[in-house]
């Protein structure tokens, strides 16, 4: 990173610091500080691979990342930029901790709105203690709250995102999934429409992993990946059904005591259903950590419903015979429509062949 680039970012940080008279301003300040710290730790992947001090396990994963990154650009036609061409050791188990909150009797998440990205249903903190402190403040206000560590972090292409040490323990298939997914966000992102953005990224991720594994003749790994994705969808469907059940309860108008009883019963039933569903899933079923702790509205509120829209994107990809350049062009056209029209085309009615 050259000195002029550093200087410009420090000036931007100073401008953000002026906002710190408000809670939102302080949040933006910690976000800017965390991002600057992260960027300062980046090293080119080629340099890390060549360094004899690099552990073999890290070198192996970064060599895989370099190949995945090349495939993303040359075959999947994803952005050819500086993202995922560098490595940063963050020195902690997670890069950020996300706080999600929902009222005691609602499964609709509280939202916070920011420049560029629009409104999102979480607050992310680079320090766990800050996330916990903010979560405690929300709990005192009566919210159901969830705090979760996140291993991967993206700036939607506003900076050159590195591969992080928190990701290095993942398999190469998991690394390919996250790189294809996040590069899709960098190419096409519609503020305030998470269903559209995430469904698109899931579609490109799954198609990308399929093509990548097939190009290497790894049919068994592809079968395993597709099985894992199917199992994740089954758990999401279970969580979504519970979310719908609670939504009906909260809208029923019964008194608070009966509502709390119904809420507790719904979560108890969810635990039983999850145990039955995942009995044959192996040692690490999807959402395992959620069910090891307390379940509440915040977790259900954070369950994205974007899987409902994935079939629409897959129909579109099929309609253009798998040609990604045409697919991306059609998606950009959809992105310019009003949200209700996009939803009707992608999430409700089949797209015309």
Q: Is residue 315 part of a domain?
A: no
Please state the pTM of the whole predicted model: 0.84
Task: Count Cα atoms within 13 angstroms, Cβ side, for 7.
Answer: 3
Domain that residue 22 falls in: 9-40
Please report whether residue 211 resides in a domain: no
Q: Is residue 288 part of a domain?
A: no
The crossing angle, in degrees rounded to 10, of helices 194-215 and 310-319 is 50
* Within a domain: 15: yes
Q: Is residue 17 part of a domain?
A: yes
Residue 166 located in a structural domain: no
Is the per-residue pLDDT at 16 higher than 90?
Answer: no
pLDDT at 10 over 60: no
Which residues, 6+ apart, have CB-to-CB distance to 142 below 8 Å?
103, 104
Q: Are 82 and 41 in contact (CB under 8 A)?
A: no
pLDDT digits (tens, 9 = 90+) for 180-208: 999 999 999 998 888 899 899 999 999 99
Q: Tell me the mean pLDDT in the region 298-306.
A: 78
Confidence of residue 24 (pLDDT cuts 50, 70, 90): low
140 in a structural domain: no
Block residue for tokens 């992260």 = 38
Those residues whose C-beta lies under 8 Å from the C-beta of residue 236, and which sit 6 or more positions away, are 286, 303, 304, 307
pLDDT per residue as tens digits for the range 106-152: 999 998 887 666 777 888 899 999 999 999 999 999 999 999 999 98
- Evaluate whether 146 touches 169 at the Cβ level (below 8 Å): no
Q: How far, in whole angstroms, is CA 233 from its chain's centroid?
A: 15
DSSP code string of 21-86: TSHHHHHHHHHHHHHHHHHHT-EEHHHHHH-TTS-HHHHHHHHHHHHHHHHHHHTS----SSTTSE
pLDDT tens readout for residues 305-333: 667 788 999 999 999 999 999 999 999 99
- The number of folded domains in the chain is 1
User: 132-136, 150-154, 264-268, 275-279: lowest mean pLDDT where?
Assistant: 150-154
**Is there a domain that residue 32 lies in?**
yes
């Amino acid at each position: 990173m050259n000195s002029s680039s550093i200087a410009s970012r420090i000036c931007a940080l100073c401008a953000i610091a002026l906002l710190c008279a408000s809670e939102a301003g302080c949040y933006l300040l910690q976000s800017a500080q965390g991002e600057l710290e992260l960027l300062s730790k980046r090293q080119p992947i080629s340099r890390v691979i060549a360094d004899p001090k690099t552990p073999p396990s890290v070198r192996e994963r970064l060599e895989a990342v370099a190949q995945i990154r090349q495939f993303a650009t040359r075959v999947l036609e994803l952005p050819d930029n500086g993202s995922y061409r560098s490595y940063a050791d963050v020195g902690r188990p997670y890069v950020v901790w996300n706080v999600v909150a929902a009222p005691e009797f609602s499964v609709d998440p509280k939202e916070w709105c920011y420049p560029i990205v629009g409104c999102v249903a979480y607050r992310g903190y680079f320090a766990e203690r800050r996330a916990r402190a903010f979560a405690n403040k929300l709990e005192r206000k009566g919210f159901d709250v969830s705090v979760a560590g996140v291993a991967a972090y993206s700036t939607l292409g506003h900076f050159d995102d590195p591969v992080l040490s928190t990701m290095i323990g993942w398999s190469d298939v998991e690394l390919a999934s996250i790189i294809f997914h996040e590069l899709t966000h960098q190419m096409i992102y519609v503020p305030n429409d998470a269903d559209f953005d995430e469904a698109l990224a899931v579609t490109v991720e799954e198609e990308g992993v399929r093509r990548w594994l097939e190009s290497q003749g790894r049919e068994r790994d592809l079968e395993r990946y597709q099985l894992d994705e199917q199992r994740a969808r089954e758990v999401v469907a279970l969580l979504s059904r519970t979310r719908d059940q609670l939504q009906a309860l909260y809208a029923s108008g019964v008194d608070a005591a009966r509502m709390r009883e119904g809420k507790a019963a719904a979560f108890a039933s969810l635990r039983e259903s999850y145990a039955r569903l995942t009995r044959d899933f192996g040692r690490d079923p999807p959402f395992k950590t959620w069910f090891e702790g307390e379940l509440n509205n915040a977790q259900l509120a954070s369950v994205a419903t974007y899987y409902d829209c994935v079939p629409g994107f897959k129909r579109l990809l099929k309609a253009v015979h798998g040609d990604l350049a045409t697919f991306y062009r059609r998606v950009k056209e959809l992105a310019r429509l009003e949200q209700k029209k996009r939803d009707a085309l992608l999430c409700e009615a089949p797209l015309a062949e």
